[in-house]
Amino acid sequence: MPGFLLNVGSTVICAHGGQAKPTVPMPRVRVMGLPIVTQPPPYVIAGCANPPPPANVGPCLTGTWILAALRVKAMGMPVLLQDSQAICVPTGTPLTVIVAQPRVRGM
């Protein structure tokens, strides 16, 4: 499915409200002046409200993207889109893209 590309200014959260940020943005490709983000590097999550053991498994720490663009790549790596899918570790819940840049679409 087509969607807007993610850059470092995009807002991504875990299912418990934690802010997710990319660990390794792609500095050579920019959209709206900010580096874009590609699939292999994970996102780090801060501020997750999921309770620690023994009440639950603990807060989300990282998010690994499992689905990205099929046709658009940057330096050989698939770019992340607004409809890309990720899973948080250790909870197994998804990451959700709240805001993405509105100018460049990918597929």
Count of structural domains within the chain: 1
Flag whether 65 is in a domain: yes
Q: Write out the chain's pLDDT in tens, 107 residues.
A: 689 999 999 999 999 999 999 999 999 999 999 999 999 999 999 999 999 988 899 999 999 999 999 999 999 999 999 999 999 999 999 999 999 999 999 99
Per-position DSSP letters for 46-76, written without gaps between them? E---PPPTTTSS----EEEEEE--SS-EETT
Flag whether 59 is in a domain: yes
Flag whether 106 is in a domain: no
Flag whether 82 is in a domain: yes
Q: For residue 27, what are the domain limits? A: 3-100
| Domain CATH for 78 | 2.60.200
Q: Pseudo-torsion of CA 40, 100, 96, 65, nearest 10°?
A: -10
pLDDT in the model for residue 18 = 98
